[in-house]
Amino acid sequence: MTDIRYLAPRTLDEAISAFAAAGTAARILAGGTDLLVQMRAGSVRPGLIVDIKKIAEMTTIEEAADGGFRVGAAVPGAVLAEHGRFGKVWPGVLEAVNLIGSTQVQGRASAGGNLCNGSPAGDSVPAMIAAGAIVTLQGPNGRREMPVENVPAGPGRTHLLPGEILVSFTLPPRPPGSGDAYLRMIPRTEMDIAVVGCGVSLTLKDGVCTAARVGLGAGGPDRAAGRAGGESADRLAPRGRGARGGRCRVQRGLPSDRRQARHHCLPHQGCRRAPEARGCHRRQARRRRELKTMTKLHVSTLINGEPAEFLCEPYETMLDALRGPLGLTGSKEGCSSGDCGACSITLDDRLVCSCLMLAAEAEGHDLRTIEGMADGEKLHPLQQKFLEMAALQCGICTSGMLVASEALLQHNPRPSEEEVRFWLAGNLCRCTGYDKIVRAVLETAAEMREAAQ
Ligand SMILES: Cc1cc2nc3c(=O)[nH]c(=O)nc-3n(C[C@H](O)[C@H](O)[C@H](O)COP(=O)(O)OP(=O)(O)OC[C@H]3O[C@@H](n4cnc5c(N)ncnc54)[C@H](O)[C@@H]3O)c2cc1C
Ligand code: FES
Ligand code: FES
C-alpha cells in the first residue's frame, strides 16, 4: 500500500521545505498534464504531491519597466495568451506555448512543466532558448539563475538540484527591430508532438542582422556528421539545445518509438488496437489498488453554481470524484490521458480535462459540468441544436463536445468554422463525424447572436 499526500502551500518557502524533506518521492504539480498521465500509467509514484498553483509568484506575469517579462513557472498557456502585452513582444514564445496540446490542455499546461518534464519534444523550450530566457530556481540552498538551455540534462532529466523548484522565466527587453518565431514539424495538422521544433529570435538594424539566436527541439547532436567534419551547427544554432558543437539530427520517430506508441490504448476499445497492449487496463486497476491510502481529503467547491463538499483520495482525479461520490456521470471517461476531451468541464470559466486535474485541486474553485448546462427542463440552445442536427450518435463524446462548445461561444460568440475546428481539436468523436458537430455549433452561434439583438 502506497501513501500519497497532497499539499497546496501558499508560500514558496513552505513548498520548498516540504518538497526537499520528502526527497525523491515528491513531485511538483503545476498543470498536471504530464504528471497525472505519468501517475495514471504507473511510471511515476509520488509519495508527496506539492501543488504550486496557490503560490502567487508562480502564477503571475509581470512586465518590468525596461520591457522585460517575468513569467511564473506555473502560468497556464491560456493565461499567457490572454495577457495584453506578452504576445505582442514575444509572439514566437507565445505561439510555442500555445501549441501545447488542445484547448483543454492549454487551460492547465505551463511552460515550467514543459521544461521540467524534460521531454526533448517540449514545444516551449526551443522558443524560450531562442528568446534568451533565464530561469530562476529556488531550493533548500537558496536562489540561483541559469539560461533555459542549461536546464535539460537528457530525455526526462534536468539539471535542477534535489529539492529545487523552478520559480519563473525572465525574458529580456527587446531592442527595436526585434522579432521571434517558433515552427514545428508534426505529421498531423493538430494535437501532435513535434518531430522537430525550431525557435528563432532576430534583431535587425538598418537591414543588417545584429543578433540571432536559434533553439532546436527534438533533435540531438549528429555525432556521425561531426566525425565526418560536417558543417557545425554552431553556425546555425549557437545556443541550440543538444546542438552545440555538431550537426543536429532528428531523434524522434525511430522504430523503437513507434513500438512504444503502439502500447497506448483507450478503455472503450478494450485493448484491441494492439495485441501487445492487452493488459493495460489490468495494470491500471492494479495501480489504483496499490495507490489506496487512508488519508482522504475534504474538498469544498462550487459545482454548477451550488456549494458541494466531498471526500477524495489525494491521487483521485476530478473525473473520478464527479462520477463517483458526486454522482455526476455526464462527464465521460474516454482515455484518462487528456486526449479525447470526453471529460471536459470548466474550472473558473476555463475549459479543462477533468481527468487531468486532481479532485483535491477543486478546493475553493468554481466548476461547471454538463449537468449545469440546461436551464431546468429547458435545454441549452447547443443541446437542442445537436439533437435537431443529429450531431451525436453513441454520445460518449457529446457531453465533452457540448461543454467545450459552450466555452467557445462564451469566449468568442462569432467563431469562424476554422476557429470552431481548432477549439474542438481536443474533442474526439469516433462515430458521428465532425461536420455535423461543427455546423451545429456555427448555427447555434448565429441563432444566439440573433436572439441577443
Ligand atoms: C493531450 C496532451 C497533449 C499534449 N501536447 C503537447 C504538445 O503539443 N507539445 C508539448 O510540448 N507538450 C504536450 N503535452 C505535454 C504537456 O502538456 C506539457 O509538457 C506541459 O507543458 C506540461 O506542463 P504542466 O504544467 O501540465 O506540467 P506538470 O504535469 O504539472 O509537470 C510536469 C513535470 O515537471 C515537474 N514540474 C512542473 N513544474 C515544476 C516546477 N515549477 N519546478 C520543478 N518541477 C516542476 C513536475 O513534477 C512533473 O515532473 C501534451 C499533454 C497532453 C496530455
Ligand atoms: S481527455 Fe479526459 S477522459 Fe479523455
Ligand atoms: S457520438 Fe460517438 S464518439 Fe462522438
CB 172 within 8 A of CB 183: no
CB 191 within 8 A of CB 183: no
pLDDT score, position 252: 57
The CATH superfamily assigned to 295-372 is Beta-grasp domain (3.10.20.30)
The set of cell numbers assigned to 341 is: 476531451
The reply to whether CATH 3.30.465.10 applies to domain 5-263 is yes
Q: Cα dist. 79→34, 305, 338 in Å?
A: 18, 23, 19
Residue whose CB lies within 8 A of the most ligand 1 atoms, among 50, 59, 104, 114, for a mutation test: 114
pLDDT score, position 196: 85
298: Cβ contacts below 8 Å, ≥ 6 apart: 309, 310, 311
Per DSSP, the three-state class of 422 is: helix
Identify the bridge partners of residue 366 per DSSP, sorted by sequence position.
302
Q: Which atom of ligand 2 is nearest to the CA of 353?
A: 2
- Quote the CA–CA distance of 247 and 219 in Å, as a whole number: 10
pLDDT score, position 341: 98
The set of cell numbers assigned to 221 is: 547532436
| CA 353 to chain CA centroid, nearest Å | 10
Q: Whose CA is nearest to atom 3 of ligand 1?
A: 101
Q: Which atom of ligand 1 is nearest to the CA of 44?
A: 49
pLDDT score, position 266: 36
The reply to whether CATH 1.10.150.120 applies to domain 381-452 is yes
pLDDT score, position 220: 66
pLDDT score, position 292: 52
Mean pLDDT by 10 residues, the chain (453 residues): 84 96 93 96 94 97 97 98 96 96 97 96 96 98 97 95 97 96 82 84 95 88 45 36 50 47 37 38 55 74 98 96 97 96 98 98 98 96 98 96 98 97 96 96 97 91
- How do residues 31-62 score in pLDDT, each as one tens digit? 999 999 999 999 999 999 999 999 999 999 99
Please report the sign of the dihedral spanned by the C-alpha atoms of residue 124, residue 126, residue 130, residue 133.
Answer: positive
Domain ranges of the chain: 5-263, 295-372, 381-452
pTM of structure: 0.87
Residue 32 Cα, ligand 1 centroid: separation in angstroms?
A: 6
Residue whose CB lies within 8 A of the most ligand 3 atoms, among 370, 389, 394, for a mutation test: 394
Q: Is 360 in the pocket of ligand 1 (CB under 6 A)?
A: no
